Amino acid sequence: MHPATAKWYDRRDYVFIEFCVADSRDVKVNFDKAKFGFSCFGGTDNVKHDNEVDLFEAIDQNESKHKRTDRSVLCCLRKADPGKAWPRLTKDKAKVTWLSVDFNNWKDWEDDSDEELGNFDRFSEMMNTMGGEDDLPDLDGADDESADSDDEKMPDLE
pLDDT-derived band of residue 139, with 50, 70 and 90 as boundaries? Answer: very low
Q: How far are the Cα atoms of 93, 152, 153, 154 from residue 157, in angstroms, in the given order?
A: 74, 15, 12, 9
How is the chain split into domains, by residue range? 1-81
pLDDT at 73: 95
CATH of domain 1-81: 2.60.40.790
Element of type H or E holding 104 = none
Contact 37, 30 (CB under 8 A): yes
* Other CB atoms within 10 A of residue 94 CB: 8
pLDDT in tens, 36-62: 999 999 987 889 999 999 999 999 999
Please give the backbone phi and psi of residue 68, each rounded to the nearest 5 degrees, phi first: -95, 135
